[in-house]
Structure 1
Amino acid sequence: MDKVRHPVSSVIALQSVPSPITISFSDYISDDLRTEDKFGFESLVTVSDMFNARLHLGHKIGTLNNNMKWAVYGERLGVCIFDLDTTRKHLIRALNFVAHVAMRAGLILFITTNRETIFSVEKVAEECGQYSHVRRWQEGTLTNTRQLFGASIRLPDAIIFMNTLTSLSVNHPAIIEAAKMTIPTVGVVDSNSDPAYLTYLIPANDDSPQSVEYLLRLVFFQIDKFLLYSTTVYIFL
């Protein structure tokens, strides 16, 4: 039988698809997260760009969370300074994961509680066809959907936390709910935050609009780029 693909809206012969975006089904299902930099992010993320975006600036040394000491290079004028080599390594790992989810047409939820970056987060989520939650979190949104919404709904395939603390300086409740529902999470974790229960953490400044904009641009680029592949998955009959 001829080899064909089945996109959402139509059936197109395999031979009619341009070769640069053609992937075989066996290659598609064998893509995994064991490759540290499968999509070549090493050249995309640089220490100089992260420094210019102020990712290295943490909170005052007195607020340092013991679970974040491993990511801190030192302190200057009483402020924690992140080791950007460590940040870069974890950022590339997180981007690799996001790219895999986007390539499989996964549903991604962006979350933030930072009022200065709410608009940016909502805008990026909308532009890449994903979702955002920037208001007060209702308990049970992920774990008790039937009672809250009256029916079972599709849960996110991944959640990206642009900051992990609420206004009360406690971990966002969605982190625990996601862990209970085995939803993988990506989180920007500042020096005063607790990285517990996050799947992929990015040790970096989560307060500065400049740093958040930089991270959002990177994430948007990956989602927008790999959404192309989500419509070119081939089923061989």
Structure 2
Amino acid sequence: MATVTMKELLEAGVHFGHQVRRWNPKMKEYIFGERNGIYIIDLQKTQKLFRDALNYVQEAVTERPKMKILFVGTKRQAQDAIKEEAERCGQFYVNNRWLGGLMTNLQTVQKSVKKMKDIEAMKEDGRFEMLTKKERLGLDNQHAGLMKNLAGIRNMNGLPDMLFVIDVRKEDIAIAEANRLNIPVVAVVDTNCSPDGIDQVIPGNDDALRAIRLFASRIADAILEGQNVATEGIGVESENDESGESAVDTTSSTETENSEINTNGEENLEPTIQVADQSAATVGATHPKNEEATEGANNSEVDGAFGDAQVKAGIETSAPRDTTEVVLDENTDEEKTQKESIEATAS
């Protein structure tokens, strides 16, 4: 996860604010003290808020890997760092001049971008060489001006999803447009600036080159890490899906094997069925209840129940479920024979 240490903040000079007479009272809570007429920013608060901002950016990119983040820093010290770090993380930037209405009047800006691309297409297909020298010179100057202001957003189709700003006092128009469009703003705020309208305030020096590069590089790192986390999450989900499919295949193959085993088992159960039938018939014939011939009906019920229990025992070991009917039929025939013998004796 992208982070920053106290040593890095000190070495970059993040703690140096502006002169006391140029301060903004709204930044009072972030000021540690005053040294030689210059306010010193509380680096403990800067470190905490900077880490919070990095987490905010990383989580946002993780949830939306294709979100567009616009780096804004048009002051001379910030131009190179803003361009390099934005390009490193595949995002967009404005480092020369913020064109009024760049976000609130995006359609007009996109027309200018289209004009710039048309001039480039003319140079590629040879139409540019067919023009007069004066026309070529005019198009070259027009293209250079457009590239100067719009090169960083030439492929930004639509509004950005977030702004990262260096020097909110200089980029006040960009922040006003973002607030109007409800676009979140992450910004470095110096002691001479107001934190109003900033979603993630990073109190720090916005003039020193090393400080600006530190802020921009860490934001770019947070974006890259968020994209990596999102990519890994998609990979894990696909792996889980594949493992789930393999588990289903394994289960189906296991069920097939079990069905084959059951089929083979039923083919080899005939000797066991015969043994179970014989044992059930023997137990039913020698049961004490059968000696009471006058209670043949009751004997039938008892023997049937007892035979059922034996059959169930046979089923639990190896006998099939149809053994019950066989045993009951044998017991019933025997009872009929006993009844007939009793009736013959009585007569």
Same fold (TM over 0.5): yes
Partner of 2:226: 226
Given that residues 100 and 173 in structure 2 are in contact (C-alpha distance below 8 angstroms), is that contact kept between their aligned partners in structure 1?
Answer: yes
2:206 counterpart SS class: coil
Partner of 2:212: 212
1:131 aligned to 2:92? yes
Partner of 1:34: none
C-alpha distance in 2 between matches for 1:84 and 1:208: 15
For residues 17-49 of structure 1, what are the alpha-carbon distances to aligned partners after superposition, in whole Å with 9 as ceiling and x for unaligned? xxxxxxxxxxxxxxxxxxxxxx5x6xx322222
Q: Which of 86, 89, 93 lines up with 2:48 in the alignment?
A: 89
C-alpha distance in 1 between matches for 2:198 and 2:59: 18
1:121 aligned to 2:82? yes
Residue 134 (structure 1) shift: 1.1
C-alpha distance in 1 between matches for 2:158 and 2:229: 22
2:198 counterpart SS class: coil
Partner of 1:174: 174
C-alpha distance in 2 between matches for 1:210 and 1:228: 27
For residues 143-172 of structure 1, what are the alpha-carbon distances to aligned partners after superposition, in whole Å with 9 as ceiling and x for unaligned? 122344359952111100022122xxxx52
Which of the pair has the greater relative contact order for Cα pairs under 8 Å at 6+ separation?
Answer: 1
Partner of 1:108: 69
Larger strand proportion, structure 1 or 2?
1
- What is the letter of the counterpart of residue 216 of structure 1? A
C-alpha distance in 2 between matches for 1:157 and 1:127: 18
How many pairs are equivalent?
Answer: 192
Partner of 2:194: 194
C-alpha distance in 2 between matches for 1:148 and 1:127: 24
2:186 counterpart SS class: strand
C-alpha distance in 2 between matches for 1:111 and 1:145: 16
Partner of 1:12: none
**Structure 1, unaligned runs of 5 or more:** 1-38
Partner of 2:343: none
**Structure 2, unaligned runs of 5 or more:** 115-155, 242-347
Residue 101 (structure 1) shift: 2.5
Given that residues 73 and 166 in structure 2 are in contact (C-alpha distance below 8 angstroms), is that contact kept between their aligned partners in structure 1?
Answer: yes
Q: Which has the larger radius of gyration?
A: 2
Q: Which of 126, 141, 155 lines up with 2:102 in the alignment?
A: 141
C-alpha distance in 2 between matches for 1:134 and 1:122: 7
Residue 228 (structure 1) shift: 1.6
Q: TM-score of the superposition, structure 1-length normalised?
A: 0.75
Q: Which of 46, 53, 71 lines up with 2:5 in the alignment?
A: 46
Residue 53 (structure 1) shift: 1.2
Residue 137 (structure 1) shift: 1.5
Residue 86 (structure 1) shift: 0.9
Deviating 4+ runs (over 6 angstroms):
none
Given that residues 101 and 158 in structure 1 are in contact (C-alpha distance below 8 angstroms), is that contact kept between their aligned partners in structure 2?
Answer: no
- RMSD over aligned CA atoms reads 2.2
Residue 87 (structure 1) shift: 0.8
1:160 aligned to 2:164? yes
Partner of 1:33: none
Q: TM-score of the superposition, structure 2-length normalised?
A: 0.52
Identity of aligned residues (%): 31
1:80 counterpart SS class: strand
State which drifts further: 227-236 or 210-219.
Answer: 227-236
For residues 121-150 of structure 1, what are the alpha-carbon distances to aligned partners after superposition, in whole Å with 9 as ceiling and x for unaligned? 101100110010012222211112234435
- What is the letter of the counterpart of residue 181 of structure 2? M
- What is the letter of the counterpart of residue 206 of structure 1? D
